[in-house]
Amino acid sequence: MENKRNKVYLGLYAALIALYAALSLGLPSDPKTLQKYNIAQSRVHLVSLAIVIPLVMVWSAALYGFIKFKSYSSTVSETPEGAPLRHLSTGLMILAFSLPILACVSSLSTYASWHRPDLLPTLTICKNYLNILFALAAFLQIFKGAEGLAQTSKRKISLPTSNWAIVSVLLLASLYIWLITTRAYGSSGDIAYFLPNWLVISTLAIPYLFVWCKGMASAYYLNMYRSKIRGKIYKKALGYVSQGIVTIIVLSISIQFITTLSVRLTRLRFTPLLVVVYVLVAFYAVGYGLVAQGAKKLKLIEEV
């Protein structure tokens, strides 16, 4: 059963990777850009390959980490930790699959920006809402799992309600909404969202802030659960898993933060921003790698 399920995941993921590679290497670049930088299309494809290959390796690490964690969560499905671990596993799956899906949409969006400018607003809006939907789905599952795990602990774990925590969240929210609403406008109007401010705030900014709060709460629950649980060997193995998931949560939030403010941030310089995003994406491999390592150790405890 597990093998069959893994084959489905692998098959779907391979199809998405193939689609992304085909789009990245197959779609032509903007002729104006090629002319501006005096670069041949074949050279651009070579450069794209240099980005596609590392990205595919990172995504494969994400899929591997999810599959290993899923395998462990299936092993303990009948235990009190079973249901929370299943939710965590679902959240990790959504995040892992969102990577190639969103990359494909991004490739199409880039192509549309010069080939079919009339489609750009629609594609941009779809891309933005797809991003937030994936983030919402993934983080709600991860939060449900982290909260559920914390509830299985014999020692009570609850979220901090100190004034500092509340003020920090409010400051972050205010800063983010200010940055979004005072973004630069392109010559064709709102090039970031193609939506009025009130809609951007109510349907993108606020959901993102909600997602980030859930993400931070999940990280807190996981760290507290790990610190309060008994069992030196179990704790060590769980440590890899919780560190991995916290890394993934932090990276995800950072990437979402940067990409939703990308138009504003690209006023500084384009190249460093893209490099920062790709470096952050590469660290997904670290996060999922830790999850895989921890899940393998935890599964071994259940099998020996």
Partner 1 sequence: MSASTTSLSLYDQAVNVSEEYLGPAAERFIRRQISTHLGIKPEKLNPKDLPQLVKWVSLAFALLTNNADELDEFTHSLLGLKNNRK
What residues line the site for partner 1 (CB under 8 A)?
76, 79-81, 152, 229-235, 238, 297-298, 300-302, 304
Q: What is the DSSP letter of 196?
A: -
What is the number of other CB atoms lying within 10 angstroms of the CB of residue 171? 10
What's the distance, Cα to Cα, between the start and end of the chain in Å?
Answer: 21
Cβ-based neighbours of 98, under 8 Å, separated by 6 or more: 134, 135, 138
DSSP per position, 88-142: HHHHHHHHHHHHHHHHHHHHHHHHHHHH-GGGHHHHHHHHHHHHHHHHHHHHHHH
Query: What minimum distance in Å lies between the beta carbon of 229 and partner 1?
Result: 5
Q: Which is nearer to partner 1, 99 or 224 (CB)?
A: 224
Nearer to partner 1, 13 or 225 (CB): 225
Q: What is the nearest approach in angstroms of partner 1 to the Cβ of residue 158?
A: 20
In the complex with partner 1, the residue whose CB is nearer, 81 or 147, is 81
Report the nearest approach of partner 1 to the CB of residue 85 (Å). Answer: 11
What minimum distance in Å lies between the beta carbon of 231 and partner 1?
2
Closest CA to 70 of 17, 20, 8, 132: 8
Residue with Cβ nearer partner 1 (277 or 301): 301
Please say which residue, 214 or 297, places its beta carbon nearer to partner 1: 297
> In 3-state terms, what secondary structure has residue 232?
helix
CB of 190 to partner 1, least distance (A): 51
Distance CA 31, CA 41 (A): 9
